[in-house]
Chain A
Amino acid sequence: MAEKRIKVLVAKPGLDGHDRGAKVIALALKEAGMEVIYTGLHKTIDQIVNIAIQEDVDVIGLSIMSGAHIPLTRKLMEKLKELGIQDKKIFVGGVIPSKDIPKLKEMGVEGVFPGGTPIEEIISAIKASVKK
């Protein structure tokens, strides 16, 4: 049997165009042996979910620098629920104040990576979540 590879969607939802972090993560995950799809900028949640379905990804990582992480993540989680694909592991990264981390986790987000989180930590969290 061929080896199961972790497939990750790195997504930039909304209007925020700061993509240095998303690109660095995309590269790092690829180097860590994962199959990575990067959505590019300015994607709606509907577009992101559609890609996640067609690509059958294990993980969706949202990169949000504008501060709109709460409404955008909420929208994503609702959409996943509506379509019955809550098995995807969701991670959120970007400019995220600590006080918002519990709120995101409550919504069902697997992990939150505020700016400055070491890449290795992100890689191992993703690997661990998929094994679960």
Chain B
Amino acid sequence: MSTARYIKNDRDQILDVILESGIHVKPVYTPKDLEEIGFLYEEDLNDPGKYPFTRGIHPLGYRSRAWTTRQYTGFGTPKETNERFKFMISHGQTGLNVAFDLPTQMGYDSDDPMSEGEVGRVGMAVDTVRDFEIAFEGIELDKIGVGLTINAVASIILAMFQAVAEKYGYDSKSISATPQNDILKEMIGRGAWIFPVEHAIRLTGDIMEYSMKVMPKTNPVSVCGYHIRESGATPAQEIAYAFLIAFAYIDEVVKRGYEPDEFVGGITFNFNVFGNIWEQVAKFRAARKLWAKLLRERYNVKKDRNLFLRGIFGGGGYGLTKAQPENNIVRGAYYALVAALSGAQTTALCSYDEAYTIPTPHSALISLRTLQILMDEMGLRDTVDPLAGSYFIETLTKQMEEKIIEEMEKVERYGGIIKAVSDGYIQRMLARQAYEIERGIEKGELLKVGVNIHVEGEPKEVELHEYNEESARMQIESLKEIKRRRSQSDVKRALKDLEKATKDGKNVMPYLLDCCKVYCTLGEMTNVFRDIFGEFQEPSLF
């Protein structure tokens, strides 16, 4: 889908191009443009691996190491998920990115009435650590980094992950997990929130603090500009809000008496590659520079490696169409190119059937192959930041930087990100923008091949992932079985301890680990929090 607005004359010649972030693109760029923006190599770019890291965080980029591929995977029972993990790894995938079903994301057990019809549907169902024992059986947890797409109950899931790693004999210091753990973006866009803002951020802080000490290779937070963008944000807003959210989490940990240099290196990001190719590349380059600069200026972060903007750049979900689904394979290839030209360390693509349902093994594999083709065949590993020095790209990168700062200032003037999210200021703005985009598509101002241009007749069906009711039944059975076999007195004691620690304001992680080890269920642990914290009050739309 096109995202820029085009002003054309009646002969289809382009008179003006306005990018989503509000930047006008000129027909030609020359050295004069660089002069005008006051471009200075050392200050604006510098060599890759050198501050401000505009060109990338490694001096040799993909020469030293190709990107990590981490397709979003998980469905049904833990056993089915385990098989799919192994399938993807056997085809050369180098990391995991675990999808959880909605009950798990919302802290309900599979046998809860709220879970009806949803168990194992959009991801794997998790009730107790037993499920993790099955899902990660035979996976080398000290070698494969594991992304856990979980937010409201990230603390519980991370504790489960630690428990299973310990059980399989891995040192907690050697495992690398990336729980998403970004609750503010859930409140903006993805909707899997449970607790009120202040309590939710406390849990985020607990995870960050605990990881720093116990699981230093774990990245405790992955701030997701991705979903903010999917909710209707411009690329500049995506970065701006993500940075502000990251700062809110940093503040929470600083408040507990830590130096930013002790932990900011563990913060990673998840950004979207969907959009205008130039605006995207400029966005990522500007973001890398700005993140380093802001950490230095605002938090006095000193160590270079703590200034790296690391994360997963990928996805592209909103750009995909239901019409002419195979076109999404082509779109995916271009999105992957954007990620590569932007120097993504980790990537993943939305699969071509995601406008229908969760991916089949076939479609997930096509995505993986798309990523591999870029690295192995097309020469994207040859040199670092190949677009550097382009009159256009450097001008645009500088302009994007300014736009991002502008968007950050708007929210700060409003009263900061926490207020803006609690009040619904951002949600309202994004809903309005999403509506304008939809109108733009209908009016034909924004082009979507197969939808409002080059349309073919009836959309054809694709082979779909089928939801298996049987998996849900089996999951509930196995939960019942565990509930029968576990030590009820241990469970009771562990939950009581968790409750006390939560009320006393202690870091909950050791208590959760304890609960997990005696097979407390996700729902039981979440309910302890629910009773103490209450629920997030969703702001009204208008």
Contacts and interface: CB of A to CB of B under 8 A. Distances in A.
A contacting B, Cβ–Cβ less than 8 Å? yes
B250 to A, nearest CB: 25
Contact of A24 (B103, B115, B323, B434): B434
B102 A116 contact: no
A97 B360 CA distance: 15
A116 B116 contact: no
A18 interface: yes
Contacts of B461: 97-99
A15 B106 contact: yes
Contact of B118 (A44, A66, A114, A118): A66
Interface in A94-125: 95, 97-99, 114-116, 118-120
Contacts of A70: 117
Contacts of B435: 23-24, 27-28
SS class, residues of chain A in contact with chain B: loop
Given A38-B541, A99-B461, A115 B322 contact: yes
B357 A95 contact: yes
B440 to A, nearest CB: 11
Interface string B461-492: 10010010000000000000000000000000
A131 interface: no
Contacts of A18: 190-191
**Most chain B Cβ neighbours within 10 Å, of A14, A20, A27, A119:** A20
Interface string B83-120: 00000000000000000001101101000001111100
A58 interface: no
Interface of A: 12, 14-20, 23-24, 26-28, 30, 38, 40-42, 44, 66-68, 70-72, 95, 97-99, 114-116, 118-120
A45 to B, nearest CB: 10
A72 B113 CA distance: 12
20 contacts: A15-B105, A18-B190, A20-B231, A20-B431, A23-B541, A27-B435, A30-B542, A41-B191, A41-B538, A42-B106, A42-B191, A67-B357, A67-B358, A68-B117, A68-B121, A71-B116, A71-B117, A72-B117, A97-B461, A116-B322
Interface residues of B, number: 43
Nearest to A28: B435
Contacts of A118: 442
A73 B496 CA distance: 39
A24 B438 contact: yes
B173 interface: no
Contacts of B459: 98
Contacts of A14: 102, 117-118
B405 interface: no
B202 interface: no
Contact of B356 (A26, A42, A95): A95
A26 to B, nearest CB: 7
A97 B464 CA distance: 9
B434 A66 contact: no
B192 interface: yes
A71 B113 CA distance: 13
A71 B118 CA distance: 9
A89 to B, nearest CB: 22
**Most chain A Cβ neighbours within 10 Å, of B193, B322, B432:** B322
B414 to A, nearest CB: 20
A84 B442 CA distance: 38
B438 A28 contact: yes
B451 interface: yes
Contacts of B193: 17
A47 B270 CA distance: 35
A45 B357 CA distance: 23
Given A17-B186, A23-B431, A24-B434, A66 B464 contact: no
B192 A68 contact: no
B230 interface: yes
Given A20-B431, A120-B442, 11 more contacts: A14-B102, A15-B102, A15-B105, A20-B231, A20-B434, A24-B431, A41-B538, A67-B467, A68-B118, A72-B117, A97-B356
B343 interface: no
Contacts of A16: 102, 191
5 nearest A-B residue pairs (beta carbon): A17-B191, A71-B117, A15-B102, A23-B431, A68-B117
Interface in B108-144: 108, 114-118, 121-122
B321 interface: yes
Given A24-B435, A27-B435, A116-B451, A40 B538 contact: yes
**Most chain A Cβ neighbours within 10 Å, of B102, B105, B114, B432:** B102
A41 B190 CA distance: 10
B410 interface: no
